[in-house]
Every structure is written in structure tokens, then in C-alpha cells.
Amino acid sequence: MNTNTKLQTDMEKIDLSKDIAVIGGGYTGLKAASRISESGYHVILVPQHNDADFNFSVLDVPSTEINRVKALENEVANNTNVEILPKSTLVEATGVPGDFTLKFLFADSVIEKKAGAVVVATDTAVNPLNTIYGLNPAENVVSLSEFENLLASQDTKKEIQTGQKTVAFLVGFAHEGSPLLMKRILNSVSETVGMDGCSAYVYVNNIKVADDGLERLYKQSRDNGAIYFKLEKSPTVMQENESLTVRFHDPVIRKDIELNPDMIVCEESMIADETNLSLAKILRIDQGPMGFLQNENVHRLPVNSNREGIFVIGSAREVQSLSQSWTDVDNMVLRVKQLIGDGEKSISAKAVVDREKCTICLTCYRCCPHEAISWDDKAIISQVACQGCGICASECPMDAIQLIDFTDAEMADRIQKAASAVTANTPKLVAFCCQNSAYEAGMTAKAFNYQLPAGLQLIKVPCAGKIDIHYILDALVEGADGVLVLACHHGNCKSESGNTYAKWRINDAYRKLEQIGIEKNRLEFATLASNMAVDFARIVIDMEKRISQKKD
């Protein structure tokens, strides 16, 4: 084990670029550009998808917000602190937080920009679902977006009104939907019944009202005459030339019913922007479900990605309404200010590389969940990007990486003390505890005076990913009767994969113990959350019992 690495713990002064790149030109991107520039930073806005220079996509903006968004669009277009890169696509991103180098493809040329931070603010795209109902687009079969457009223009709205149309809405049978979609549907239903002579029939599966004002909107539309059929199964919809038929079983009157609407409005789904995946690849950030970006992480603010200095906001991370995504913008601006400040920062190292030992095998680079490692002729850790989890240090085959607060030498010392602590005839247990979960749970268990084994010693680690297989074996060598590795729950690791690495190493340790001929149950792996003091106590007491029985 490494015992003589010289650690450089001086504060490092670094400069951070005050240019912030915003990718996405919808209402989230516009708001982000506006708010970041208000905070005194220069914004590089990359609208993507736009055809004309300032043609931002405001199609998805709720009608009540159109004026606000238009004003915002105007403000951003005239803001001298916002530089707009129209028709450009991000093709390469290198560097570290505070000093990213971004390359954009514009026509055939490449534009290079420096940025201190990157904000991904892509919008959702709309996906029509008419084919699932067996419907073909027609003048009287439209998608929700198309219907919204018809209502938005006075001329086409009048056409619907004078025709005294009966409009059928199909909702929730082609996909589960979301409150945001339901809001758009309820608004359209309300507007339809608000027109003299028009009526609205809504065929709906689950009515998703879990957002501000939706319950009210739903009730209002019913009070104004909209009729809702809440069905478990999709109605049978037939389209023959211009004639439309909706057949279904009404669960209230328990009869089969057939209706002939003048028009059908078919639900649609809101899907992630198609550029998200390539952005994730280029920016080396995690993908989430269904084409959205980043996994949920309970230890992290929602707008923070797995990489420091790269933020994912609004509908880039999940389907969001305008007000939700503008809240994301506010949160992001706080984080940008915290990171970039006034462009200068003193930072103390969390992890250092012994350049003499480093054999540049790239293991650390490949394992770092925060993409904090690069290399010249040896590995380099960006101290701004580093989150101090220690996964790299415990994977490095040369022990060339040391965490300032958890050096191998200090850990060896702690292990030796913990494993040899004198206890009268009770098993000596060494528990390696992640400071984000198990350590908290253990301290709570102590504070509440839960019954804990007399021979239990806790060793705090910054993340279960720092628990080296060497530490586990060493604890046994130094005299521990049992070793516990206590990590965060699956999917709950602050550093994404620290608990996964810990689990892999435990399995490796089990193989080794078996070969050596040592009882496997002297080693235990368990996952905890910080509020699970009771479970902590149970796990360690169980371990003590098991080992006592073996000793007898």
C-alpha cells in the first residue's frame, strides 16, 4: 500500500471563463440566456433547429404566455450580452468546468467558443399518436397541436364555431400522458365548449390533474358543458371518408353507445428533443429514460448533471411546463453563480496524482463518473470537476491517486486502529461507511443509543467507491472478525457508480476469501440511506450474532 506519496494540498488559484453556453432556443433557453446575462455573464446562445436567424420555436408555449415569451424573445435578440449562434450544432466539447472549449458546426465551418459552463435547455418535440387509434390525418382528424393552432387563429376558430362542431378528444389510450399534456387538452376543451353551439366529448383513460389549477380547469370545463367518458379501454374509432364514428361501452349507463363527431382531436406525446442523445455523448453526461437527459440523483440538485459545470434544465431532463422550466432556470443561475462567481476562484485539491507512479493506464479516466480526469503524459485531475468520491484512487493499479482526506496511509492507520481496538470477548467489527448514507445512519444509531455491538468501529469513506479491496483484506489481516461495507442504495449513489464499484469489489473479495479458505460471512455488503439508523443497527447486530455463533 502506498505510504509515502507527497501530497500537494496548497490552494490552487484558477480563472474561470465568464462566458456561459446555452443550448436550446425555446422558452427555457431564452429565459436562461436572459437570466444569466442579468447576472453579469456573457451568453452564447445556440438555438438549434431554427431556420431563420432569430426564429425561436415558441410553438409549445401556452396561449396565455405567448406575450410574455414574445417579449422575452425580443429582449434576448436585442441583448448585447447574448451572442446568438444560429443554425449551429455542437460537435465537440473538451476541457474542464470554467474552461470548456466547444466546437460548433455552422454550415461547413467550425466555430470554436470558450465557455465556463454549459446549460442544456433543449425542448420537447411533439409526436402525433393518431396511428395508434387507426386514424389518418384529415381535415376533421387533427392532432392536439394542430387543433391548438386552429384555435389560435381567429379565422380558423370562426370556421369551427360557425360549423357548430361536435369535437371528440381522444386522451390517454395511446400512452399514459402527463399533467402538462392534460393541461393543454383541458384548455382546448374549455375553449371548444366556450364557443356557441360547439360541444366537446372527451374520451379519456386517466385524467392527470396533478398540477396547479388542473382540477379547477377540469371542473370548469364540465360545468360549461364538456362531457367526459372515463373509459378503461380505448373506444373503437372509425374513419370512412369524412364520416367519423366513435363506439364505446359507457360504464355509467352500462350500454354500448355510438356517436358521430364532426371532428376528432387526437392526443400526442411530448418526447425528448432528438439532439439530446448526441449532446449527451459529446458533453459526456448521463442519459435518462426515454431520450431525456440525466438520471435522478437524490444527492444532487435536479439541474446538476453528473459533470460539474454542465447543467440540464427544463424539458431537457423531463417534460416540464413553462413555469416548472423557468424554476429550473432560476436554480441553474444560482449554481452558475456559485461555480463561476466573478471568474476567479481558489480551490483546494480533493485528489492528487503522483506523476512518478502514474503509468497512464487510463483506468481512472474510464472510471471517473464526473469526467474529471484527462491526461497529458500522465493523468490529470481537474480540481473543479472532481467531487472527491475516490473511485479512481481505489481502481488505480499503481496506487498513484490519493485523496487528500483519505490517503492510503491514513486509511491503513485507521484500519489498523479500528481492527485492533480492544474489546472484551466480543467480535471486532470494522464497518466501512459511505459518508452520504451509512455513516450518517450509524451516527444517528449511536446518538439514539440503539443497541450496537461493543466491538463495532466505523470508518468513514467519502463514497463506497473509495472502499479498496485492499482495505477489506487489510481489516481482516489486522484482526477484524468481520468487515461490513455499507453503501448507498442502488441508483442512489451521489457519484452515480460508487456503490456499484463497491459491490463488484465485494464479489471479488468473496472469491478471494473462498480461495484463501476464510468464511465468506465474515464480510457483508449492505445498502442504506442516511435515515435508516434502525436498519443500520439491525445489520451490525446480525453480523455480530453470526460471528459469535461461528466463534463458539
Partner 1 sequence: MIVAERKPFDEIKELIQGYKKILIVGCGTCVAVCLTGGEKEVGVLSAELKLSQKSESAPASFGEATVQRQCDFEFLDEIKDIAGEYDALLSMACGAGIQFLAERYPEIPVFPAVNTTFIGVNKDVGWYEERCKACGTCVLGMTGGVCPVTMCAKSLFNGPCGGTNQESCEINKDQPCAWHMIYERLSKQGRLENIIKICPPNDWRNQKPQTLIQPGYEERKALSE
- Positions touching partner 1 (CB under 8 A) are 1-2, 357, 359, 361-363, 366-367, 395-400, 468-470, 473-474, 476-477, 512, 515-518
Could you identify the residue written with the cell 393543454?
184
Q: 239 vs 363, which CB is nearer to partner 1?
A: 363
What is the CB neighbour count within 10 angstroms for residue 204? 22
Cβ of residue 362: shortest distance to partner 1, in angstroms? Answer: 7
333, three cell numbers: 443561475
Q: 60 vs 481, which CB is nearer to partner 1?
A: 481
> Coil, strand, or helix at residue 29?
helix
Could you identify the residue written with the cell 470508518?
459
Asked whether the beta carbons of 257 and 247 are under 8 A apart, the reply is yes
Closest CA to 261 of 176, 213, 198: 198
Asked whether the beta carbons of 351 and 388 are under 8 A apart, the reply is yes
> Coil, strand, or helix at residue 388?
coil
Cβ of residue 394: shortest distance to partner 1, in angstroms? Answer: 9
Q: 70 vs 281, which CB is nearer to partner 1?
A: 281
- The secondary element (H helix, E strand) that includes residue 141 is strand 141-143
346: which residues sit within 8 A by CB, 6+ positions away?
11, 12, 13, 14
> Coil, strand, or helix at residue 21?
strand
Q: 310 vs 401, which CB is nearer to partner 1?
A: 401
Q: 358 vs 385, which CB is nearer to partner 1?
A: 358
Q: 137 vs 397, which CB is nearer to partner 1?
A: 397
Q: 36 vs 461, which CB is nearer to partner 1?
A: 461
Cβ of residue 136: shortest distance to partner 1, in angstroms? Answer: 43
Cβ of residue 505: shortest distance to partner 1, in angstroms? Answer: 10
Closest CA to 239 of 177, 192, 170: 170
Q: What is the 3-state secondary structure (H, E, C) of 65-104?
A: HHHHHHHHHHHHHCCCCEEECCCEEEEEEEEECCEEEEEE
Cβ of residue 439: shortest distance to partner 1, in angstroms? Answer: 24
Closest CA to 413 of 459, 473, 454: 459
Q: 76 vs 480, which CB is nearer to partner 1?
A: 480
The neighbouring-strand residues paired with 240 are 243
138, three cell numbers: 384529415
**How far is the first Cα of the chain from the last one, in angstroms, to the nearest whole number?**
34
Cβ of residue 504: shortest distance to partner 1, in angstroms? Answer: 10
- The secondary element (H helix, E strand) that includes residue 133 is none
Q: 58 vs 518, which CB is nearer to partner 1?
A: 518
Q: 345 vs 357, which CB is nearer to partner 1?
A: 357
310, three cell numbers: 454542465
One DSSP character per residue, 344-368 reads: EEEEE-SEEE-TTT----SHHHHH-
Cβ of residue 276: shortest distance to partner 1, in angstroms? Answer: 24
DSSP secondary-structure letter at 172?
S
Closest CA to 396 of 373, 412, 414: 373
Cβ of residue 319: shortest distance to partner 1, in angstroms? Answer: 34
Q: 105 vs 398, which CB is nearer to partner 1?
A: 398
Cβ of residue 403: shortest distance to partner 1, in angstroms? Answer: 15
- The secondary element (H helix, E strand) that includes residue 282 is helix 276-283
CA gap 283, 286 in Å, rounded: 9
Cβ of residue 476: shortest distance to partner 1, in angstroms? Answer: 6
Q: 272 vs 484, which CB is nearer to partner 1?
A: 484
68, three cell numbers: 410574455
Cβ of residue 359: shortest distance to partner 1, in angstroms? Answer: 5
Cβ of residue 542: shortest distance to partner 1, in angstroms? Answer: 23
Asked whether the beta carbons of 469 and 415 are under 8 A apart, the reply is no
CA gap 525, 504 in Å, rounded: 11
Q: What angle do CA 445, 449, 454 make, to 5 degrees?
A: 85
Q: 345 vs 503, which CB is nearer to partner 1?
A: 503
Distance set, CA 89 to CA 49, 71, 278 (Å): 9, 26, 10
Q: 1 vs 11, which CB is nearer to partner 1?
A: 1
Cβ of residue 512: shortest distance to partner 1, in angstroms? Answer: 6
162: which residues sit within 8 A by CB, 6+ positions away?
none
Cβ of residue 281: shortest distance to partner 1, in angstroms? Answer: 17
